[in-house]
Amino acid sequence: MSLEKIRAMKGYQAITALTAYDCNIAKLLDEAGVDIIIVGDSLGNVVLGCETTREVTMQDMVRHTGAVRRGAVTSFIVADLPFQADASPEQALENSHLLIDAGADAVKIEGKPEIAKVIAANRIPVMGHVGLLPQTAEEFKVQGKDRVAAEKIVQEAKALEKAGCFAIVLEAIPASLASTITSLINIPTIGIGAGPYCDGQVLVINDVLGMYEGHTPKFAKRYAALNEDIRAAVKNYIKEVKTGQFPGDQHSYR
């Protein structure tokens, strides 16, 4: 999957995106045919056990981006610039290079079109992000519900397109607003809690697989219940070890 192919999919074919944080999951998503894998700073919540994404560091992002790259062969990989990694244009550019060197094809930034412009000008593909911005949000709720707030998000999306972003994530906004933005800009929109009228969709893989038991937003859909399967498998293992059923002859060397 290339940048050109992603751009060409706007209005033609829905773009599929999921998050991943390790080599094995990335390999499975890649083999399944996911277009974009996002190494999200959501790893703070669903992998590292942090309260917010603000606790995720550049070291975390570089390590997990490298792991995902080793697992994914064809999917396009986007890595988040974590909180404060884009505090200045110089810092954002330096950290973007670190993520690209670790294996990302592009970086993602929350808001900040002026920072996105600097990164894009240095030939690093940038994905924008408007609506709910987890790194700076004080309340996690739907954004853009009134006319003034909606117009602000529209202008932010236009500014990110002008800055050189190749796509924009629309998070937690009304479906009608997402539809408006999608029709107004010439780059793909990727929705997460933004309804069906975006050019593509993204979800957190742990929500999709049923591997996270913290707060699950309304827009997340569970396609499996792996936590239950894991508990059952581990309980079965414990039982077999306690009763001497494992290891058996077939698991022992002679």
CA separation for the pair 42, 72 (Å, rounded): 19
* Dihedral (CA of 96, 98, 101, 102) sign: negative
Both tokens of residue 215? 């707060």
CA separation for the pair 47, 67 (Å, rounded): 14
- Catalytic residue status for 110: no
Q: Calculate the CA 170 to chain-centre distance.
A: 12
Among the listed residues 110, 156, 161, 171, the single catalytic one is: 171
CA separation for the pair 76, 69 (Å, rounded): 10
Place of tokens 């990302």: 104
CA separation for the pair 90, 83 (Å, rounded): 15
Catalytic residue numbers, as ranges:
171
